[in-house]
Amino acid sequence: MTWLKDPLVSFLIAGSAIFFLTEWFSEPDIPYNIVVREQDLTRLGDQWRMQMRRSPTDAELTGLVEAFIKEEVYYRQAQRLGLDRNDTIVRRRMVQKLTFLTEDIATAAPLNELELRAFYDAHLEQYRVPQRLSFRHKYFSNDRRDNAEADARLFLEQKAVLEGQPAQEYAGDPFMLQREYAQRSEREIGDLFGRDFAQQLTELDVTQAWQGPIRSAYGWHTIQLTAKQASAIEAFDVVRERVASDAQQTARKDANKAYYTDLRSKYRITYPDKSE
């Protein structure tokens, strides 16, 4: 029985087994004819040009076509063997392709100006610009000082000397970020200094006087709030491209939701009997 150990014999046996399974259990309506269309040649050539930055030679194009044929042969053979069944990756990919198809159909025709304006009017809050603040700050470090908050308050009270220490002790410490910020939203400020700092900053008045102190993730800060730009909805002409993109995205979601609802209504769903 040593002949069974021969790799060629093993290969022939495996091949025969696959052939047998294919003939007995394959899908009957999967055709054996493969048609290489002109658009296939164009697509293969375009893909090559995108990757290689040049057109393929005749020999390279022939190789691309042979690779395409090999892939098609293997794909159909896998279908005949039922290898696409009960495969999570294949299932998800097919669901994804069906979703993309539904979205493409829903957005095939771009919305006209009246439809875009109607979408904008119905979703005005999406185009609201948040309040923006401009401010300067002096930083008092917890690491550099025994009582950073007290020193910050002394600065605000304009006490230049405390227990013989020089006035610069109350003028602030070096800071790793900027000393001045312009037109920043509460969220942007919160990302830099912390949410509590940003929220307290919005409650200050616009004035040239120094205010605070406010605690951040770094230490304490005295603040000079120089400007507040109120929250406002941007004009349609300013955000027209965003509106078009948002409207298209909403159309995709609505189309998928409607398509799924319609499909699901055609199925009878049976759940496990929990009473058992």
Backbone angles phi, psi at 35, to 5 degrees: -110, 115
Q: What pTM was computed for the model?
A: 0.53
Closest to 251 (Cα-Cα) out of 241, 239, 243 = 243
Q: From residue 237, give the alpha-carbon distance in Å to each of 40, 94, 110, 234, 259.
A: 42, 39, 17, 8, 33
Q: What is the rounded CA–CA span in Å between residue 59 and residue 56?
A: 8
Tokens coding 210:
């120094």
Domain ranges of the chain: 2-85, 131-230
Q: What is the rounded CA–CA span in Å between residue 222 and residue 213?
A: 5
Res 167: pLDDT:
47
Tens digit of pLDDT for each residue in 55-102? 999 999 999 989 888 888 888 788 777 877 777 887 888 788 877 777
* Cα-trace Rg, the chain: 34
Decide if domain 131-230 falls under CATH 3.10.50.
yes
Tens digit of pLDDT for each residue in 146-192? 898 988 988 888 654 444 444 444 567 889 889 999 999 999 999 99
CB atoms < 10 A from the CB of 179, how many?
A: 12
